Amino acid sequence: MEPVIEVRDLRRDYVTSKGLLRRKTQTVRAVDGVSFTVERGEIFGMLGQNGAGKTTTIKMLITLLAPTSGVCRVLGCDTFGQEKQIRPRINFIFGGEMGVYRRLSARDNLKYFGNLYGVPPRLRDERIEEILRLVDLEEAADRLAETYSKGMLQRLQIARGLINDPEIVFMDEPTVGLDPLGAHMLRDIIRRLRDAGKTVLLTTHYLPEAEELCDRMVILNRGKIAASGTPAQIRGAEETMEDAYLRLIREVEV
Ligand SMILES: Nc1ncnc2c1ncn2[C@@H]1O[C@H](COP(=O)(O)OP(=O)(O)OP(=O)(O)O)[C@@H](O)[C@H]1O
Ligand SMILES: [Mg+2]
């Protein structure tokens, strides 16, 4: 079976201007020759230090940023050039950032985003009920989102990310800022998405979370892959995930 995500020798440079007159340019290689594949139905993790290139990789996968070079394919299509074929079939949730309207209720937010995706009204409304149940926002569904707690907003973001029934959900730090119970609920939702046949690619800085959730993962360091595999493959026999992570990050630095 063809992988649903295929990244081969992927690179992305950012060119920024510097100096007093902003005439000089500086190139940052944010993603530097990354390769991995994700199979349908997997929870796949991307770990790594701040600035390692995780969000840049996700942005290329969700068709928002063009690769500098390399292969970047989602559902068998190039993310740059065939984005029209990809966009209806994926969705993304960026933790901590607001992607919902606070002056609307959860239900109205979901109707709005459902319409943007062109979901027919009856199917849309059925789906909204199902999603509200999944993210446990049924009771608060008709209250304005501005009255929600951070965790509720985060669950509404998840709901928004499911409105087009995506085959792949990309999540950038979905549990950031959530309390332990909220993060636990979210991990439960992510597992239920996998059980429903969806593919989830997520980033996180919480190593126990990655270990608990991910079928496979990559650890990025300065734009390059420092390790990849199942959590058990990444950890040494006597090691914790944190020991393994620190070892891998330091190995590349010396
Ligand atoms: N728009 C931009 N312009 C210039 N440089 C950028 C831009 N976005 C990111 N970078 C640089 O690219 C590198 C990778 O950033 P990226 O956001 O992908 O890292 P990350 O792994 O998501 O980090 P974090 O864990 O902090 O979210 C960093 O050096 C960052 O400064
Ligand atoms: Mg990031």
Q: In this predicted model, what pLDDT tens digit does every residue of 127-175 receive, in sequence order?
A: 999 999 999 999 999 999 999 988 899 899 999 999 999 999 999 998 8
CA–CA–CA angle 188, 193, 194 (5° rounding): 100
Give the ligand whose atoms come closest to the C-alpha of residue 32: 1
96 lines ligand 1 (CB under 6 A): no
Relative to beta strand 24-38, strand 5-18 is antiparallel
* Closest CA relative to residue 220, chosen from 15, 2, 91, 29: 29
Query: 56: Cβ below 6 Å to ligand 1?
Result: yes
Domain boundaries, the chain: 5-253
Q: What is the mean pLDDT of the chain?
A: 93
Categorise residue 53: left if φ over 0, alpha if ψ from -120 to 50, beta otherwise.
Answer: left
Q: What is the pLDDT of residues 200-229, one digit of tens each?
A: 999 999 999 999 999 999 999 999 999 999
Mutate to test the pocket of ligand 1, among 27, 28, 65 (most ligand atoms within 8 A of CB): 28
Helix ranges, the chain (H): 54-61, 83-86, 106-116, 121-134, 150-160, 180-195, 207-213, 231-234, 241-253
Strand partners, 18: 24
95 lines ligand 1 (CB under 6 A): no
Which class would CATH give 5-253? Answer: alpha beta
Q: Does the global pTM surpass 0.85? A: yes
Q: Which of 11, 14, 201, 249 to mutate to test ligand 1, by most ligand atoms within 8 A of the CB atom? A: 14
| Residue 116 pLDDT grade (very low, low, confident, very high; cuts 50, 70, 90) | very high
Residue 136 Cα to ligand 1 midpoint, Å, equals: 33
The answer to whether the CB of 51 is under 6 A from ligand 1 is: yes
At 57, which amino acid appears?
A: T
